[in-house]
Amino acid sequence: MAGPMKPSDPNRRDNNQNGGGDDKKRSPWSFFSIVMWAVMLVLLLHMCSSSMERASVQTVPYSTFYQWVEDGYVDRVDLASNAYTFTLKPNAPPLEEYLAKLTESYGKGGLSQLFGPFDPNRLTGVASENVKFQTAPLNQPDLISWLSEHGVERFEAELITTEQYMLSAIVSYVLPVLAMVVAMIFIYRYMFKKMGSGGGFGGIGGVGKSNAKVYVEKKTGVTFKDVAGQDEAKESLEEIIDFLHNPGKYTEIGAKLPKGALLVGPPGTGKTLLAKAVAGEANVPFFSISGSDFVEMFVGVGASRVRDLFKEASKMAPCIIFIDEIDTIGKSRDNRMGGNDEREQTLNQLLAELDGFDPGKGVIVLGATNRPEVLDKALLRPGRFDRRITIDRPNLAGRLATLQVHTRKIKLAEDVNLNKIALATAGCVGADLANLVNEAALRAVRKGRRLVTQEDLLASFEFVIAGSEKKNSVLTEFERKLVAYHEVGHAMVAYKQKNAEPVQKITIVPHTEGSLGYTLLMPEEDKTNLRTKAELMAKITVSMGGRAAEEVVMDTMTNGASQDIQEATNIARNMVAMYGMSEEFGMMALGSVRNQYLDGGYGLDCAQDTAAVMDKAVKAVLDVCYKDAVEVIRANREDMDKVVAYLLEKETITGGEMVAILEGRDPALVEGAYTSTRAKPQLSGDIEPPARHVHIVDEPIPLPPTPPDDDGPEEPPMDAEEIHEAIQDMEGTIEDMSGEPNQEPKDEP
């Protein structure tokens, strides 16, 4: 325990230096910086307002003011200690005319002497009644009488006292500064609370304490009933729920519950939903935070958020902390990460908190990731994330249960068979199945139905894998024929292969996913976990069927087989490199999986010469499968022509219709929109089953004739009435013997 705690101490000091703590030393400078910013903003606002006021007032020399008063042009003057502000009379002539009159009287030279440095052209285009003028005051003793003589009676002179001046300064400068300081403090606190930063932007305005951005729920609204297909994971988490309900029985015996559980699985399998279900079953607060929320550009921010997260969780214990995408902060530390890296400090703080908190308080940490191979080994060791719960893709039973959960609120028709949908969706996760059900409901609404049918579910499955139909796409006759032979080639090879999946549907309608047509294969059983070599070879052969049909029938090759070639090559490469199914290498593994839960890709762990030999082995597998596909196409050329002719007419056919054509039956009599090549034929039309010609008639059957007796003459046989009377006499005798009607006589000893 002492080893992992050592790197956490210098991290704590770094956090304090970068804003993680020691608010007392930083607070005076922070407040001073806020005041300085507020003063600067207020001065800037005053400068802007003064500039706007000056832009609306025209400044003229005192000589101009004097001349306008002499000419009776001024209407009102406001006498202030620093400036005289005056306006012109509304009925005064325009300024242009007045300037022209002055120019005639004084000339350009006299006009410049009258106005001084002021340019009279600035008054051009200015309305006299909408503009204010100001001039610098001069010491003129008879100013008031002079203004009255020239009709300027609306002059004002205001005396500003010292108190008024101080009050004006306070209102103009001090109060805005204080208001700005308060506003900036609230803004900074709110901003740092959202960011979870204690250091501020480079030390400017660093106020407030870092708080982790978490989402706390008292009731998540999700229980184990809402999670299907993950029974093993739920069993592993039930112990955690029981501990949160009854911690006493664990502490009495001395047991300690694991501090953390790591949920590992592909995207969409329901890791977050399962974590919420644990909190919903335990009925405790649920802290939900993503790993990316801890990472910021400032060093120390993530570590501060980790501390605050566990501090808040301890206050609300018992509770559950769920860290989604924990690989964001839990990546393995290597030489590329420096000692002052933000991710490393955050990881160190998380490790310290996992070691420090007491599990007896009821704080459970759940993490989720789909890249467990990149996590740091210190994070996975016992005492931190003790348990690793794998949430893999659901099997057939899991997919069926998931479909039942997602269709609880969906109105289904009587023909819906969820088991068939579960078979078709091999490899799908819970999110895919939820999307499939929703798309089926939307399709039912578009078709004007109130119930979701089996056809809607299968059509939505096709929509997910192939997209919607391209209704505006136009193909030539040659292209349609080429696509038809390509798809029928896949179907014919799959039909003739023993270990291939049955054909469900063949279409030559272009779709949005880029395919001009496709052949839908529907498995009869779940084959996601285990496949034999014969099944893999059959799958490759089916993928080669399209290109084989192009070459044999149309004597050409197209780029439409590119996806088939890629799929076949991947299977063959896995057979050689991973499955040990080649004669050249046998049980030797040439690669290892890199991203098991994402793309499933692997990297080669062999020399370049060995990789070259492996490529030859892969090509040999592909050549064998392609040769088998060509042989199937050549042996069934006539049957293919019949199927292609019907496909060109209908554009979409089922596997059952294809089998009907091959067996010489009418494909139009095949019922069902989705019938596979291995389904029992269902006939319709005028053909009646042989059982309809059998009639059952209720008639008395005569007894065989009685042989003649040696002692007497032969008695004639009894007719129907005599037989009926004899039966009634026998029933009466039985009633007399037993005392109960309709009771069979018992043999007496």
Terminus-to-terminus CA distance in the chain, angstroms? 92
- Would you tell me how many other CB atoms lie within 10 Å of the CB of residue 429? 23
Residues in the chain: 749
Amino acid at 501: E
Contact between 378 and 406 (Cβ < 8 Å): no
Catalytic residue among 487, 501, 550, 657: 487
Phi, psi of 59 (to 5 degrees): -95, 125
Q: What's the Cα-to-Cα distance from 42 to each of 22, 172, 178, rounded to whole Å? A: 31, 9, 10
Range list of β-strands (E), 302-355: 319-324
Buried b (16+ CB within 10 A) or exposed e, 114-128: bbeebebeebeeeeb
Q: Would you say 549 and 517 are in contact if contact means Cβ atoms under 8 Å apart?
A: no
Q: Are 655 and 494 in contact (CB under 8 A)?
A: no
SS3 134: strand
Backbone angles phi, psi at 516, to 5 degrees: -85, -5
- Token readout for 546 is 């399209």
Going by the DSSP 8-state scheme, the letter that residue 178 receives in this structure is H
Question: In the chain, how long is the greatest CA-to-CA distance?
Answer: 181
Contacts of 617 (CB under 8 A, 6+ apart): 576, 582, 583, 584, 585
Cβ atoms of 377 and 264 within 8 Å: the answer is: no
Residue linked to tokens 């501990």 = 243
**Contact at 8 Å (CB) between 282 and 320?**
yes
How far is Cα of residue 327 from the mean position of the Cα atoms in its chain? Answer: 18
130 and 94 Cβ atoms separated by less than 8 Å: no
17 close to 303: Cβ distance less than 8 angstroms: no
Q: Which pair of tokens denotes residue 550?
A: 């192009």
Please state, in angstroms and rounded to a whole number, the distance separating the CA atoms of residues 566 and 36: 66
Residues 6+ apart with CB under 8 A from 397: 229
Catalytic (active site) residue 158: no
What is the DSSP-derived secondary structure letter of residue 469? Answer: B
Tell me the catalytic residues: 487
